[in-house]
Amino acid sequence: PRTIRFREKKTGILTPNFTYETRTTGQKDRILVTTRKRIMLIVFGMIELIDLAKTPVVILGRRDATVQVDNLFDLRLYGAAERGVSRVHCQLEIKDGQLHVTDLGSSNGTYVAGKRLVPHQPYILKKGEDLALGRLPIQIMS
């Protein structure tokens, strides 16, 4: 199997045949390892599981009768409209074994670690980074 090097605060989706190396200091990298393509969204203490093996791209937003979007994860339950979440706000996608978030031109922005993302430009999420859709904070774990 291919050996993968991990760095601090890096999110990766791994195959079942993975191995990892330690740094030259001999310390093991602190990583969250998963053999499944499943992520966990934590919104106001509630846990939601998203299976990216079935659907490699998931749109985060809020369902509306006027907008029909495939693979939409509806955040209305968490007060999405009141917190500035657009109907089609951002997307989560696995590319090259890493989890990417892309703002889809939302009105109130997508923020990672307090910085607003440039619309339509994928950003690689790192372990422990905070995500906010408008004013809705979301924690992502793989």
CATH number of the domain at 102, please.
2.60.200.20
Among 26, 55, 25, which residue's Cα sits nearest to residue 38?
55
Report the distance separating Cα 94 and Cα 83, nearest Å: 26
**Burial of 22: CB neighbours in 10 Å, binned 0-12, 13-18, 19+:** exposed
Question: Residue 8: inside a domain, yes or no?
Answer: no
The total number of structural domains in the chain stands at: 1
> What pTM did the predictor assign?
0.73
Task: Output the tens digit of pLDDT for each of the chain's 142 residues.
Answer: 444 454 444 445 444 444 444 444 444 433 333 345 788 888 988 999 888 887 889 999 999 888 788 899 999 999 999 999 999 999 999 888 889 999 999 999 999 999 999 999 999 998 878 899 999 999 988 6
Residue 116 lies in a domain: yes
Distance CA 95, CA 98 (A): 5
Q: 59: domain range?
A: 36-141
Tell me the sheet residues that pair with 24: none
Check residue 3 and give its pLDDT: 46
Query: Does residue 65 lie in a domain region?
Result: yes
Establish if 27 belongs to a structural domain: no
- 49 belongs to a structural domain: yes
Q: Is residue 100 part of a domain?
A: yes
Residue 57 lies in a domain: yes
In a domain, 30, yes or no: no
